[in-house]
Structure 1
Amino acid sequence: MAATDQTYRNQKTLDIVFAVSCILMLLGTLWMFWQDYDRQFKHIQRQFRDVEEALSEYQMLAALPSQEQVAEARNKVTAAKKEYEAAHNKLLSRERELMAKHDLADFAYRSLKADFDSKTSLYNIAVEHLGKAEEPKRQKELQEEAEKLYKEMSELQDRLIKAQDELDQIKQQINKEVTQPLEGPQQQFNRAEEELKKLTANFDRYAKATVQKRWKWDDIFRSLPILDAFESPTKIKQVWLPELTIDYGGFKDVPRFDRCISCHLGIDRANFDHASLKRLTLSPELARKELEKAEARKKELEGKEGSEEQIKRMEGQIAQLKEEVKRSEGMQKRLDIAREILEARKAAGENLGFDPDKLPTKVNWLKLDKGQIAMYAAHPRLDLFVDANSPHPMEKFGCTICHQGQGSATDFVNAAHTPADAGQEEEWHKEYGWAHNHFWDFPMLSSRFTESSCLKCHHEVTDLIRYGSKTEAPKLLRGYELVREYGCFGCHEIAGIKSGREVGPDLRLEPQPALAYL
């Protein structure tokens, strides 16, 4: 067969296929990078910064002092400062004269002290050499040298004492003629400043937090792909629990890694309660709509039999909504006043610790649904759970030891959340794409079953009653009481309950039932 340049396959077709496959591989790689970068917890943490800013802004406006009070306090500070400066100016020439004397006396004292220390060191060396010398001639020379140094050292010591006395006299003179006359004006100025700080302390703290929590350009830069691997403002947060292990079905239990706080970011912050977070969403328009709905609902109930209690509850709700409408409508005005107060204090030369120009010019109203509010809200009963000073601190107990679920997950579905009912299941399926995770053996307990986890440690159950009659797990304790009351352990073996009082006869035919039960 003759040789030919013809290839087995068409070269042009191969080039096209190769080019297309390269493009597809590039797109697939980019898609992979984006899928890895665009994680759910990052969006949640980014939104939480807005929540922190809005809540700090709300708390700042709640702590807003009146302009009159701030102006009065500022005037007191200014007046006290002028009084101090006037008193100080009168004594300025005398202070300079005395300070010049003080500096000269201090210099003379330090010079003598240096010479005295030098002679003392030389004398000690001479005495040491004298003790080691063996020849009489050498001993005599060293003895004469030591005596000479001792004499010089004694003279310097006398001069040093006189210099110290002179310096002390000048210091006493400064204290008598300068410091003491200025003590009164200085104390008055300090008191005025303390009153101003006391008046504006909380306001300033929340204003500074509002500025710091704003999402700035450097946050955007640090959250870019690849760069976010170094110092990203959004990162996975976790609690390592080496003593609270979990059995994955292998040969050894492994420590828990709970990453729930990557999304539940306000879980240990008492000020992130449901009511406060709900308030951040009630703009004037939304608050008025809620009020109109409540009033319409009340009208529907009027005239219906047995609706008195519902109407009473609606009246309380309407009164609360009216307050919310009034509050939300006044928020923008309060923000303008806050900016005016801070600008005036900045112009007066006060160091605020932040730039008031970076405060928002408009009230930051958030759009949070009930699920997001629940996610960002603090844990109930921080005196009992999560808080570092509680009996169950988060650093020691984590989350999944009580709630179950997949603690190592960082998205809603893989965390194995469990809906409370069929309605919530349908809602989660539509909004979050929720589905039961068949690959995880420990789904999260529904909220109504969470108290059952207390039995993992509180085997006696009754130790859940604290502070007299206060019960920490009322559902669990009620169930325990029902089991004992109805004698469930008579038929069912229950761990922790060995026996109880008899509540009924033996229903078996043999032996014959006792006459007392007939």
Structure 2
Amino acid sequence: MADKKSVGHAYNIDFLNVVFAASSIFLFVSMLWMVWDDYDREWKGYQRRFVQLEMEVTRASLEAANQEVDTRVISELEAKRADAEARLEVQTEQVSILQDELDVVDVQLDLANQLYQFAKANYDVDKYTFEVERERDPDALGLDATQAVIEAQYAEWLELGLEVERLTAERNGLRGEIADFSKEVTDLDEEIGELTAESRRLSERLGDIEPNFRDEFLLNAPLLDFMAPTITVQQVVTPNILDDVNFTRVPKMDRCMTCHLAIDREGYEDYPQPFRTHSNLSTYVGSASPHPLEQTGCTVCHEGMGQSVSFRDVAHTPVSEEQLHAWEEAYNWEEPHLWDYPMLPSGMAEASCAKCHDNEIHIPEAKSLNLAYGLYERAGCAACHKSGGFEDLRKPGPSLRKIDVKLTEDWVKTWIRNPQAVKPTTWMPRVWYNSNSSSPADAKRNEVEIEATVAYLFANSENHEFAVRVPPRGDALEGQRLVESVGCLACHVSGNETRTEAGPRRTFGQALQNIGNKTSYEWLFDWVRNPAHFSPDTYMPDLRLTDGEAGDIAAYLMTLTGDGGVEAVAEYDQAYRDDVLLDYLKAVVPTEEAEATVAALSTDERTVELGRRVIQRYGCFSCHDIAGFEDTQPIGVE
């Protein structure tokens, strides 16, 4: 075959045809690939699966509804209805006559009503014109004749009104007679309808959701799904809740329900995600709840990127390493680095309640958050950290202004060295000898600071006079009976329970464990006799005990002793104490000034000054009322 080259050309037409054909095929395949890649979205698969699941659930509900219907009763009612229809057939001629009469009356009533309306309109116009003329010229000629015409119009209007009322009553009577003939059939239809209402509703619903070629394939086909697709992105826009997107405040948009299709529907509680019903629909996302889905959306509580419809992009948060690896394999999941609000882990969504319910410390249905607020208050967190809703609370720890009357120095040292070793239920944190301060070098400094803290507290203790100078001695056994019967154990723990076992409510009051080691009989008697005498701000009520009962309880409490506590594990000399004090001083003043300050103090004054600075550093005054720190701000951040 001759080479198809024209003079002056260097290309081969056959080869170019092959190139153009291959390029066309490649571009066509690329276009198909592009269209399919754009069409084949993850969320569409979820919606198709949900249609099948919804049909399955609806069929199961329909079957259950049919089983609840008493077929014997339905059969009896249908038989009665057939008999009633047969009787109605016999009376068809009478019903037909009444219906003809009703048709005539309807026509007459329409005509009478029309004439009545026209007469009223003419009367209103003529009366208005007459009154205007009379107002303008009371002596004008013809006013009397015009007034007579208007009065005649009024009389005609009243007669037409009476005719309308007569025809209306006649029409209603005929309707009632006709209804009486079919009343039995109508009543039976209503009774059958009530018994089968749920079955009929579910049957209709099943017919609506059952796929067909038009809805399932044609309207959702590639390049045709722009018209009226049944598989589509679903979203909720909440104009009153805003998101900060690229420094712009925009209404929050949630598309979570595109995949979580049953989130606000009952009946899907036992199905896996994303087709599970939200818990507690009466409170969350239910249409009758305080937080309906169409008004609150999802991410206001759960966080995450609500605009996305891809599992990877919505910022889901795994709850375990196992789930993380499963997501990485199934969805190529990775931690969202470009979104500031990743989804809260499962079980943590209640944390978002505080967004709207700010400055509230009890939120209905938020049990975990309410417990957290209770623990936050009971543990005294707000004493160091200013927190909304906790501003007016008293300090969680007991006042130390009269510590010398209540406690001994040795016991206080043992106590603050490790409070949990003395009372397992205490809420007081361990300040010294923690995991980062238990080395031999740390132990020496710990003991210096403990000694100095106790020295400051006792050096600044206030006097207190007992209400009864020589209290009567009581009976410990009778005191135990009183403690167990008058309600002491509702707030106080006296046995070997841990704080977790006792719970936050039973640790509201100070634990009675080892109380006999820490104080004296005289103080216990004075306290239980009238707590406000020692501490006017105490929460403990006056139990109105007699002196004898107070003595019995004090005697019993003095028997609650034990070996709890940790002894000192290091020794130090005064030179080391001075070095520690210098460390504190040099943190705020120059070295020369710090050394001069230490030199000017006596030995006892140095210990007390070190104690003051230790208390200031660790924030003991935040939880306890301590002399000298009345105006000092809490040490924690807000």
Report the TM-score, using the length of structure 2 for normalisation.
0.51
Query: How does 1:354-373 map onto structure 2 within 5 Å?
Result: 373=272
| Residue number in structure 1 paired with 2:244 | 247
Equivalent-residue separation in structure 1 for 2:356 and 2:114 (angstroms):
73
Aligned-pair distance for 1:229?
A: 0.7
Q: Which of 292, 310, 319 is equivalent to 1:420?
A: 319
| Residue number in structure 2 paired with 1:192 | 188
Equivalent-residue separation in structure 2 for 1:252 and 1:240 (angstroms):
16
Q: Which runs of 5+ in 1 are unaligned?
A: 132-138, 278-372
User: Aligned with 1:231: secondary structure?
Assistant: coil
The structure-2 alpha-carbon separation of the partners of 1:175 and 1:256, relative to structure 1 and needing over 3 Å to count, comes to closer
Aligned-pair distance for 1:381?
A: 1.3
What are the Cα deviations for residues 94-138 of structure 1, in whole angstroms up to 9, with x where unaligned?
775x569858977997999899899999999x999x99xxxxxxx
The structure-2 alpha-carbon separation of the partners of 1:165 and 1:272, relative to structure 1 and needing over 3 Å to count, comes to same
| Residue number in structure 1 paired with 2:617 | none
Aligned-pair distance for 1:505?
A: 7.8
1:442 aligns with 2:341: yes
The structure-2 alpha-carbon separation of the partners of 1:30 and 1:95, relative to structure 1 and needing over 3 Å to count, comes to closer
| Residue number in structure 1 paired with 2:59 | 57
| Residue number in structure 1 paired with 2:396 | 500
Aligned-pair distance for 1:34?
A: 1.0
Aligned-pair distance for 1:447?
A: 0.4
Contact map agreement 2:95 2:181 (CA 8 A) in 1: no
The structure-2 alpha-carbon separation of the partners of 1:426 and 1:123, relative to structure 1 and needing over 3 Å to count, comes to closer
Q: Which of 261, 268, 271 is equivalent to 1:272?
A: 268
| Residue number in structure 2 paired with 1:231 | 228
User: Aligned with 1:241: secondary structure?
Assistant: strand
- Root-mean-square deviation (CA, aligned residues, Å) is 4.8
User: How many percent identity over aligned positions?
Assistant: 26
Equivalent-residue separation in structure 1 for 2:280 and 2:122 (angstroms):
72
Q: Which runs of 5+ in 2 are unaligned?
A: 1-5, 135-139, 398-426, 433-445, 456-517, 519-564, 568-638
Equivalent-residue separation in structure 1 for 2:168 and 2:239 (angstroms):
63
Q: What amino acid maps onto 1:229 in structure 2?
A: F
Contact map agreement 1:88 1:182 (CA 8 A) in 2: no
The structure-2 alpha-carbon separation of the partners of 1:212 and 1:115, relative to structure 1 and needing over 3 Å to count, comes to closer
Q: Which of 219, 223, 235 is equivalent to 1:222?
A: 219
The structure-2 alpha-carbon separation of the partners of 1:243 and 1:175, relative to structure 1 and needing over 3 Å to count, comes to closer
| Residue number in structure 1 paired with 2:454 | 514
Equivalent-residue separation in structure 2 for 1:118 and 1:460 (angstroms):
64
The structure-2 alpha-carbon separation of the partners of 1:458 and 1:89, relative to structure 1 and needing over 3 Å to count, comes to same
Contact map agreement 1:429 1:435 (CA 8 A) in 2: yes
Equivalent-residue separation in structure 2 for 1:417 and 1:165 (angstroms):
74
| Residue number in structure 2 paired with 1:32 | 34
Q: What amino acid maps onto 1:247 in structure 2?
A: D
| Residue number in structure 2 paired with 1:399 | 298
The structure-2 alpha-carbon separation of the partners of 1:121 and 1:26, relative to structure 1 and needing over 3 Å to count, comes to same
Contact map agreement 1:53 1:211 (CA 8 A) in 2: no
Aligned-pair distance for 1:211?
A: 0.7
Aligned-pair distance for 1:56?
A: 2.1
Equivalent-residue separation in structure 1 for 2:87 and 2:29 (angstroms):
74
Query: How does 1:96-111 map onto structure 2 within 5 Å?
Result: 96=100
Equivalent-residue separation in structure 2 for 1:7 and 1:180 (angstroms):
100
1:80 aligns with 2:84: yes
Q: What amino acid maps onto 2:236 in structure 1?
A: V
The structure-2 alpha-carbon separation of the partners of 1:445 and 1:110, relative to structure 1 and needing over 3 Å to count, comes to closer
The structure whose residues are more often helix, as a share, is: 1
Equivalent-residue separation in structure 2 for 1:103 and 1:73 (angstroms):
35
Equivalent-residue separation in structure 2 for 1:494 and 1:115 (angstroms):
77
Query: How does 1:91-490 map onto structure 2 within 5 Å?
Result: 92=96, 96=100, 184-219=180-215, 220-248=217-245, 250-274=246-270, 277=271, 373-460=272-359, 462-464=361-363, 466=364, 472-474=366-368, 476-487=369-380
Equivalent-residue separation in structure 2 for 1:174 and 1:110 (angstroms):
13
Equivalent-residue separation in structure 1 for 2:428 and 2:114 (angstroms):
100
User: Aligned with 1:83: secondary structure?
Assistant: helix
User: Aligned with 1:244: secondary structure?
Assistant: strand
Equivalent-residue separation in structure 1 for 2:111 and 2:294 (angstroms):
61
Equivalent-residue separation in structure 2 for 1:212 and 1:379 (angstroms):
24
The structure-2 alpha-carbon separation of the partners of 1:233 and 1:487, relative to structure 1 and needing over 3 Å to count, comes to same
User: Aligned with 2:251: secondary structure?
Assistant: strand
Q: What amino acid maps onto 1:46 in structure 2?
A: R
What are the Cα deviations for residues 459-486 of structure 1, in whole angstroms up to 9, with x where unaligned?
446222x3xxxx5232x34444444445
What are the Cα deviations for residues 21-77 of structure 1, in whole angstroms up to 9, with x where unaligned?
333222222211111111121222222222222222222221112332222121222
What are the Cα deviations for residues 356-380 of structure 1, in whole angstroms up to 9, with x where unaligned?
xxxxxxxxxxxxxxxxx32112211
Contact map agreement 1:420 1:448 (CA 8 A) in 2: no
The structure-2 alpha-carbon separation of the partners of 1:405 and 1:173, relative to structure 1 and needing over 3 Å to count, comes to closer
Equivalent-residue separation in structure 1 for 2:50 and 2:312 (angstroms):
20
| Residue number in structure 2 paired with 1:70 | 74
Aligned-pair distance for 1:11?
A: 5.9
Aligned-pair distance for 1:262?
A: 0.7
Q: What amino acid maps onto 2:257 in structure 1?
A: I
Q: What amino acid maps onto 1:381 in structure 2?
A: N
Equivalent-residue separation in structure 1 for 2:19 and 2:273 (angstroms):
52
Report the TM-score, using the length of structure 1 for normalisation.
0.62
The structure-2 alpha-carbon separation of the partners of 1:514 and 1:458, relative to structure 1 and needing over 3 Å to count, comes to farther
The structure-2 alpha-carbon separation of the partners of 1:166 and 1:456, relative to structure 1 and needing over 3 Å to count, comes to closer
Equivalent-residue separation in structure 2 for 1:374 and 1:449 (angstroms):
17
Equivalent-residue separation in structure 1 for 2:322 and 2:294 (angstroms):
34
Equivalent-residue separation in structure 2 for 1:246 and 1:166 (angstroms):
66
Q: What amino acid maps onto 2:261 in structure 1?
A: L
**Of 387-396 and 453-462, the range deviating more from structure 2:** 453-462
What are the Cα deviations for residues 169-190 of structure 1, in whole angstroms up to 9, with x where unaligned?
89878887x6666554433232
What are the Cα deviations for residues 233-290 of structure 1, in whole angstroms up to 9, with x where unaligned?
1111112234433334x4334432211011111111123322xx4xxxxxxxxxxxxx
The structure-2 alpha-carbon separation of the partners of 1:166 and 1:224, relative to structure 1 and needing over 3 Å to count, comes to closer
What are the Cα deviations for residues 293-322 of structure 1, in whole angstroms up to 9, with x where unaligned?
xxxxxxxxxxxxxxxxxxxxxxxxxxxxxx
Contact map agreement 1:239 1:395 (CA 8 A) in 2: yes
